[in-house]
Chains A and B, each alone.
Chain A
């Protein structure tokens, strides 16, 4: 079945250290992949997407993500974490539904950056 998964419910990292939030997918054909961030009491905000082209995608707030076709992964990364990066992160993939192709979200990963 086509799907998206975030294997970690929570990721803890010290401020200044690199961070990785994992996402794996299972789709037929070429995947369209997205990352969103949700701060407390707010809606999800778009960070970046991969449609085609360079496997390393750069997005907002210094985040980037690497598309790896052989590992069917799209992990979110940042070289140096900030306490303000603490939030809930969602990976999404475009999947068929209702005759269309729409974003389907993972369950989310809570990122906690410790001072």
Chain B
């Protein structure tokens, strides 16, 4: 198993541009999480999906952020327009959730380091 795959690994863009981050979860996992990591705020949960349906997006900082999961093997996190304060490492993680309880470990991708200038 290749694990959770994220692309790109690094993204440098200018303020105002649209940024799309991509994630391929582990096959068979039914839950997907997007996190953001910064020195100041640590690891923040942005949104999570169960069976491709967004369950809680209360962590999405602003309307500039949106996430989709069109099928079980692909998810995107989009920022439009991007701002310098969005600079961070964005992680995708997947797991198998039984009913509404996520007791199985999360499997993380290696992240996308986003720099907005």
Which A residues contact B (CB, under 8 angstroms)?
Answer: 32, 34, 36, 41-46, 49, 51, 90, 94, 97-108
Contacts and interface: CB of A to CB of B under 8 A. Distances in A.
Given A42-B110, A46-B107, A94 B42 contact: no
Given A42-B110, A43-B91, A49-B105, A100 B43 contact: no
A12 B58 CA distance: 36
Contact of A46 (B43, B50, B100, B106): B106
- State the majority secondary structure of interface residues on A: strand
Contact of B42 (A34, A36, A103, A105): A105
**Size bin of chain B's contact surface:** 20 to 34
Contacts of A46: 105-107
Q: Is the interface of B mostly helix, strand, loop or mixed?
A: strand
A94 B105 contact: no
Interface of B: 4, 33, 42-43, 45, 48, 50, 55-56, 58, 91, 93, 97, 100-103, 105-111
A100 B102 contact: yes
Contacts of A51: 103
Contacts of A45: 108
B5 to A, nearest CB: 11
A24 B33 CA distance: 24
B102 A44 contact: no
Given A43-B91, A98-B56, A108-B42, A34 B102 contact: no
Contacts of A100: 50, 55-56, 97, 100-102
5 contacts: A41-B110, A45-B108, A90-B43, A98-B48, A100-B50
Contacts of A49: 103, 105
B107 A98 contact: no
A43 B101 CA distance: 22
A43 B109 contact: yes
Contacts of B50: 100
Given A98-B56, A102-B45, 20 more contacts: A42-B110, A43-B109, A44-B91, A44-B106, A44-B108, A45-B108, A49-B103, A94-B101, A97-B45, A98-B48, A98-B58, A99-B100, A100-B56, A100-B100, A101-B101, A101-B102, A102-B33, A102-B48, A103-B102, A105-B43
